[in-house]
Structures are given as structure tokens and as C-alpha cells.
Amino acid sequence: MTAPLTPPQQPPNDPAWPPPPPSHQGPAGDPITGAEVVQGLVVTAASAIAGAVLGVLWVWLAPSVQLISDGKGVYLRDSEGEAAIGADGTFVLLALAFGAVAGLVVFLARRKGGVPLVLGLAAGGVLGSLLAWWLGTKLGPTADVIAHAKAVGPEVVFDAPLKLQMGAAAMLAWPLAAMVVHLLLTGVLGPRDPEPGPWDTSKR
């Protein structure tokens, strides 16, 4: 004689049995919505526009590289000076500060985070750095050094155009700082996923 295949105690014939599993999704499991994509685009645009401020500050704060002409050629007034490195350092420090502020502002405005916001911080940081680089070179001394030397005359000191010796690396300072700050704040102060229930077998 075989034992019955059904459990000895079977729940009553209730259409609501068994109860449905609780429907919950943490921030990481939520699908990307159109609103989040729009927010990411807004972050990108705002960061790019902020690059204009970075460019103006770079022109204002970067040390000047001084040149001098003898009527035949143009030379560095101080061949051992570190002003050229200082211009790069000023740009990188400003870009790091702008990126950190961008990451903080985005976190405070949208604590839940999301992939579009992170991508917006990265893309906006690169665009903002490129705009700052372009604007700084336009607002600074002219790039036509020969014409500038002829205009001021021989033995007259004038400023060299702004340049970035480490252009590619400087372009990454802003987006890296923004993403690192946003990631740290989200990890420490961001919302937590709900505790897994009895129906949540994906985390067991």
C-alpha cells in the first residue's frame, strides 16, 4: 500500500491560496524610466554649461607663462619656471572641485540615484571640461604668438596662450570626481534595499 501523494494537511480550497509573493523592488532593480533619462540629460546639460564657469576661473587663476622676443625669435622669459605646469594643475584642481560639487548636488537632488544620473555626470563632466578648455584658450592670450610678439615689439614681456600639457588626463578629472563622490554618498547615505522576504529566493 502506497502513501498518498498529497500532504496530510492541505489548505482549504481557497482561490487566494497560496498568497502571492510580496511585490517589491529595490533601487537597483527598478527599471529605467523616461523621467530618469530626462534627469540624466538635464545633469549632462547643466554640467556642460557649468564648464563655462570653469573656463573663466581657469583664465583668472592660472599662472601666466611669460614670453619675450628679441625681434628674431620668441623665447621663454624664465626657462626654468613652472608656470606651464601650474596652468595644468589649476585646471585639474578646478575640475576636481566642480566634479565633487556636481556629484554632491545630484545626490542631494535625487538620492535614489540611477544609471542615467551617473551617465549624465560622466558625459556632462567631459563636455564641461572640453568647454572650459576651449573657452579658456579663447579668453586667454592669443594663440598667434608671432603676431603678438610683433605687436608688442622686441624686448617686451607678454603672456603666452593658455595650454594644457596633459589634455586627455585633465578631461577626466571632472567626471571621475563626480562619479566617485556620488558613488560614495549613495553607498553611505543612499536608500537601502528592503530585507528579502520568504518568497525572495534570488538572494539566498
Per-residue confidence (pLDDT) for residue 115, from 0 to 100: 87
Q: Is a pLDDT exceeding 50 seen at residue 199?
A: no
Q: Is a pLDDT exceeding 80 seen at residue 196?
A: no
Per-residue confidence (pLDDT) for residue 82, from 0 to 100: 63
- Of residues 139 and 70, more confidence is placed in 139
Q: What is the pLDDT of residues 44-102, one digit of tens each?
A: 999 999 999 999 999 999 887 777 776 666 656 565 556 668 888 899 999 999 999 99
Whether the link from the prior residue into 18 is cis, omega within 30° of 0, is: yes
DSSP reduced 3-state for 201: coil
Q: Kindly report whether the global pTM for this prediction surpasses the value 0.85.
A: no
Q: Copy the grid coordinates of residue 119.
A: 551617465
Across-strand partners of 75?
68
Across-strand partners of 159?
66
Cα–Cα dist 104/111, whole Å = 10
DSSP reduced 3-state for 102: helix
Highest-scoring range by mean pLDDT, 19-28, 103-112, 161-170 = 103-112
Q: How far is CA 2 from the centre of its chain?
A: 69
Residues 6+ apart with CB under 8 A from 163: 84, 87, 137
Per-residue confidence (pLDDT) for residue 26, from 0 to 100: 43
Q: Copy the grid coordinates of residue 155.
A: 624686448
Q: Please state, for a pLDDT cut of 70, what percent of the chain lies above it.
A: 63
- Of residues 10 and 107, more confidence is placed in 107
Q: What is the pLDDT of residues 99-123, one digit of tens each?
A: 999 999 999 988 777 888 899 999 9
